[in-house]
Amino acid sequence: MILKRTALLFLCSCLSLALFSQEICNNGIDDDDDGLVDLNDDDCVCESFMPSSLIPNPSFEEMSCCPMNEAQLFCADDWIQASSATTDYVHTCGPYLGLEFIDAVAPLPFPDGEGAIGFRDGKPGSLNFKEYTGACLMQPLQAGESYMLDFFIGFRDNVEGSMNLEMAVFASMDCGNIPFGGGNPDFGCPTNGGDFVLLGEMEYSGSNEWVNATFEFTPDQDYNVIVLGPACAINENAELDPYFYFDNIILAQASEFGLPIVEITGAPCGDQLTLQSSEDIQGDFQWYKDGVAIIGETNSSLTIMDPSNPQDPQDGVYQVVVTTDTGCFLGDEYVLNFVVTETTQEAEICVGDTIIIGNEIITEAAEYSIVLESVITQCDSIILLLVTEGDMPEENISASICAGDVFELNGQEYDTAGNFIQTIERDNACDSLINLELTVTATDTIFDGLSFCAGSSVIIDGTEYDEAGTVVLDLTDVAGCDSTVLIELTELPAETTDEMASFCEGSSIIIGDVEYTEAGNFTQTFTNQAGCDSILNIVLTTLSTDSTEVETTVCPGESVLINGEEFTDPGVYTQGFTNQAGCDSTLTILIERENGCVDCDLTEEGNFKTKVEITKLQAGGFLLELNDLQSIEITKDELEDFVYTFAQEEENKETNGALRALHKKAALTKDFLSKHKKPYVASNRAIQETKNTMQTVQAMQTGRTMSYWISI
């Protein structure tokens, strides 16, 4: 069903013209055989009729000068430049048809006459640069009366921003209120001041064409001024230099426009449909379908029975013509259409939501085909609905509060730790989720310890303390929560340490960076690991160095090894060594030529000299070797026993003891002495010789050998 509101009231000449032509305009017959019946024939065209406008010079035809440039609205009679941003007057009397520097040219021909106005809705760098035109009305608008504004809007197609206009109509009580804005071209719409009211806003589109627009309103008080132009909101295309045109602006009471269909009852797909025209006009009525008279339908209403009958469908365009004493008037068109419509729509569904269309309940995304019956037309329609799942954004928030505090989020308060979910409603969109992770920091009690040296102090939080004890501090931790710190103060006493040390005569010792060269008692003061002063009492002693002599003999062509040094010639020699105390000592070696040196092989013949070799071993023992013939590994004590036995028997010239046993080739073993040595009166010479020998071998380096001779 389509109801087309015709804004024009026609004076129909079709009946009167029947006297001068063959076509009769209300009999449903092609009287003049031109293939056109009734209102479809040019012979039945009525002259147009439009009520007088309350706005003077509505088509901008009356002028005092021909516009040759922009901002010359003053050339059009009775129109007032309403805003400081200037409207342009355009007319075919000259070359000016719009702003040439933005290539704005009015679409031709004009809807009525040869003149119109052009205006801007913002411009680059000045988005609130809006141009308005206004007029003082010939009669005031009466409060409570219904009015209609019928006008044309011109669109140009060379700029994208000039093909869609959001416009508005404003009114004021006093003609002295225009122009408004105080000379500020960026003042914007009239309601930015206090003298105008907004009657209404509307949106229209076009492309290099004129679009007929109508606007009905009922003022709440009497108004003497009307202003037209852009809507108050900033044009989102202002940077594109949008430009538009107005022409043929008719303002009159709504009842003066056309012959309306005032009521429609029934439904196109129902049992019947009734069209009711206005009963306020007195005259003869005739109804038409598709421009052809419906014979017998001469009432103010028309009833169509079973309009959607498949065998006799009644779809078409219906109009009524009323003939009065002043002429005939053509009413509004009513388009009867009961064809099943099919539309494609899209929708979003949120998780957990439901969409209900007719009897269809939709809970998930998919494609649906839904058959509906119109409540008004009772005709079926099919909706092809594509349902997609809407976006449900999530936001994660982590927060922390102190014990006893409250965290507020979107009007909700939280005072315990945990994970919480908030659902936020959004206009025309799915809800969003906020995941809150909240931690609660408890009030801490922290224990700590500090120490200070006796006689000093420590500063804590700006306070000095010089005695042991407990300090309590109330602080704020890094999380901003209250905490208590308990600090145990300890006084560290001064330390006194005794140290004893020794060093060799003639040398020195360093203690605490101080060098000492003499024995005695000394005192040092230093800082210990705790940072406190401490006293060190030092007792120093000196260690003596040793001077030792060793006597031995050597046969010509032979050598003796002492402390790793080999000697072949008799003489007096000196060696330096470190004694058991670690001090440098001197060994004096006296080597004499041996008398009676013979071959050292053991034989059965009488007395002879036997060579004894003593080697210091790595393991700490010694190797005792006789004449390179036999040897034995023994300890220091065992070696000393052998040396003493050999020296004692040689001193006493004993030939029946250990030396005799060696002469007789007895085996050299660890129990050799227990078998062969005899008790003797101690000999001082044997004792001294044994002592010298043992001192020598002990002073030897590992791996060195000492040799000496014994006589049998």
Confidence of residue 594 (pLDDT cuts 50, 70, 90): low
Name the amino acid, one letter, at 195. D
Confidence of residue 427 (pLDDT cuts 50, 70, 90): low
Q: Which domains does the chain have, with CATH numbers?
A: 2-50+257-336 (2.60.40.10), 73-254 (2.60.120.200), 341-389 (no CATH), 394-441 (no CATH), 444-492 (no CATH), 495-543 (no CATH), 595-711 (no CATH)
What was the pLDDT predicted at 339? 60
Kindly state the average pLDDT of the residues 104-122.
Answer: 92
Which of 109-113, 178-182, 427-431 shows the lowest per-residue confidence on average (mean pLDDT)?
427-431
What was the pLDDT predicted at 10? 35
Max Cα distance, the chain (Å): 195
Q: Which of 108-112, 217-221, 441-445 is predicted most confidently?
A: 217-221
What was the pLDDT predicted at 141? 95
What was the pLDDT predicted at 519? 86
Whether the predicted pLDDT of 298 surpasses 80: yes
Give the single-character DSSP code of 675: H
| Residue in the block written with tokens 């023994």 | 634
Give the SS3 label for residue 542: strand
Whether the predicted pLDDT of 174 surpasses 90: yes
Kindly state the average pLDDT of the residues 252-272.
Answer: 79
What was the pLDDT predicted at 260? 65
Spatial distance between the Cα atoms of 190 and 493, rounded to a whole number of angstroms:
90
Q: Percentage of the chain with pLDDT > 70? A: 89
What was the pLDDT predicted at 125? 92
Confidence of residue 13 (pLDDT cuts 50, 70, 90): very low
What was the pLDDT predicted at 373? 66
Please count the other Cβ atoms lying within 10 Å of the Cβ belonging to residue 151: 24
- Average pLDDT over the chain reads 83
Confidence of residue 200 (pLDDT cuts 50, 70, 90): very high
Spatial distance between the Cα atoms of 357 and 350, rounded to a whole number of angstroms:
16
Whether the predicted pLDDT of 120 surpasses 90: yes
The secondary element (H helix, E strand) that includes residue 651 is helix 636-652
What was the pLDDT predicted at 606? 43
Please count the other Cβ atoms lying within 10 Å of the Cβ belonging to residue 388: 12
What was the pLDDT predicted at 2? 35
Confidence of residue 375 (pLDDT cuts 50, 70, 90): low
> Taking Cα atoms as reference points, which of 610, 620, 694 lies closest to residue 658?
610
Q: What is the pLDDT of residues 520-532, one digit of tens each?
A: 898 888 777 777 8
What was the pLDDT predicted at 171? 96
Give the residue with greater pLDDT, 46 vs 473.
Answer: 473
Kindly state the average pLDDT of the residues 62-80.
Answer: 94
Q: Are 605 and 567 in contact (CB under 8 A)?
A: no
Whether the predicted pLDDT of 5 surpasses 60: no
Which of 286-290, 302-306, 544-548, 631-635 shows the lowest per-residue confidence on average (mean pLDDT)?
544-548
Kindly state the average pLDDT of the residues 410-423.
Answer: 87
What was the pLDDT predicted at 16? 39
What was the pLDDT predicted at 341? 67
What was the pLDDT predicted at 603? 38
Whether the predicted pLDDT of 378 surpasses 60: yes
Q: Buried b vs exposed e over 105-140: b needs ≥16 C-beta within 10 Å?
A: bbbeebbbbebbbbbbbbbeeebbbbbbbbbbbeee
What was the pLDDT predicted at 243? 96
Q: What is the pLDDT of residues 665-684, one digit of tens each?
A: 788 888 888 888 887 777 88
The secondary element (H helix, E strand) that includes residue 645 is helix 636-652
Q: HSE, CB side, 13 Å, CA atoms: give it for residue 424.
A: 14
Bridge partners, 229 (sequence order):
168
Kindly state the average pLDDT of the residues 113-118.
Answer: 94
Whether the predicted pLDDT of 80 surpasses 90: yes
**DSSP codes joined into one string, 525-539:** EEE-TTS-EEEEEEE
Kindly state the average pLDDT of the residues 107-127.
Answer: 92
Whether the predicted pLDDT of 258 surpasses 50: yes
Q: What angle do CA 415, 421, 423 make, to 5 degrees?
A: 120
What was the pLDDT predicted at 377? 66
Spatial distance between the Cα atoms of 243 and 597, rounded to a whole number of angstroms:
144
Peptide bond between residue 179 and the one before it cis (omega within 30 degrees of 0): yes
What was the pLDDT predicted at 567? 83
Which of 48-52, 111-115, 645-649, 704-708 shows the lowest per-residue confidence on average (mean pLDDT)?
48-52
What was the pLDDT predicted at 340? 64
Which of 323-337, 398-412, 634-648 shows the lowest per-residue confidence on average (mean pLDDT)?
323-337
Spatial distance between the Cα atoms of 346 and 368, rounded to a whole number of angstroms:
10
Kindly state the average pLDDT of the residues 19-37.
Answer: 81
What was the pLDDT predicted at 326? 63
Confidence of residue 540 (pLDDT cuts 50, 70, 90): confident
What was the pLDDT predicted at 611? 82
Give the residue with greater pLDDT, 638 vs 454.
Answer: 638
Bridge partners, 399 (sequence order):
438
Spatial distance between the Cα atoms of 490 and 530, rounded to a whole number of angstroms:
12
Which of 5-19, 311-325, 367-381, 396-410 shows the lowest per-residue confidence on average (mean pLDDT)?
5-19
For the chain, how many residues are written? 712
Give the single-character DSSP code of 174: -
Give the residue with greater pLDDT, 6 vs 396.
Answer: 396
